[in-house]
Amino acid sequence: MVAGLVVQVVGFKNSGKTSLIEGIIRELKTLGIEPKVIKTTHHLLEETDAGDTRRFLIAGARETVLLTPNGIRYQSSIPRKLEEVVEELDGLVIVEGGREVKRREWVGVIVIRREGELRALMRPRTIAIVKSGRDFSREARHLARTIAAMYKAQLSHAAFTAQHSANSS
């Protein structure tokens, strides 16, 4: 990652990860930050897309690009590790899932249904533990502000380091 922050939201199936992330994204946008999001799943690519791009992949295409008037979807049949994909992005990246990946430099948010799930989900840098089964709007607002502050601090540090390196040369 060039410069930025990775926030990994983990929890078991149907715990509310997607709903929480949606709320965080909405709040971040009000703060002028547009994050990138990576969703991990155990489903195969062919199971998640029923359109022409699926047919192209099944036929043997290594990569497909779906270009539409309102966006683009890139698909590849080449398996990649979560860490590799994150490394290619800059800015604020939110990862949903990937609970088997525990990176020290990533910030963690844990969504639990029951207290007994916490141990299996702990991250090295957990900033929040959210209990599922309720409206996440308050938690999303608080987390978005916390994440925004961390992200801005990270950018300031990167800018200071770059400036200091340039002055040293």
Q: How distant, in Å, are the alpha carbons of 80, 95, 113 from that of 40?
A: 11, 8, 20
Question: Residues 15-27: pLDDT tens digits?
Answer: 999 999 999 999 9
For residue 55, tell me if it sits in a domain. no
For residue 150, tell me if it sits in a domain. yes
Q: What is the domain range of residue 27? A: 4-43+80-168
Domain with residue 21: its CATH number is: 3.40.50.300
For residue 57, tell me if it sits in a domain. no
The mean pLDDT of 121-150, rounded to a whole number, is 93
Q: Which residues contact 58 (CB under 8 A, 6 or more apart)?
A: 46
The mean pLDDT of 89-115, rounded to a whole number, is 94
By percentage, how much of the chain surpasses pLDDT 90? 61
| Secondary structure class of 131 (helix, strand, coil) | strand
The closest of 141, 138, 31 to 92, measured between CA atoms, is 31
The whole-model pTM stands at: 0.85
Q: How confident is residue 164, by pLDDT bands cut at 50, 70 and 90?
A: low
The mean pLDDT of 83-89, rounded to a whole number, is 93
- Report the domain count for the chain: 1
For residue 54, tell me if it sits in a domain. no
pLDDT at 51 over 90: no
For residue 124, tell me if it sits in a domain. yes
Residue 159: the pLDDT is 72
Residue 72: the pLDDT is 86
For residue 26, tell me if it sits in a domain. yes
* Residue 20 near residue 130, CB atoms below 8 Å: yes
CA distance 129 to 9: 10
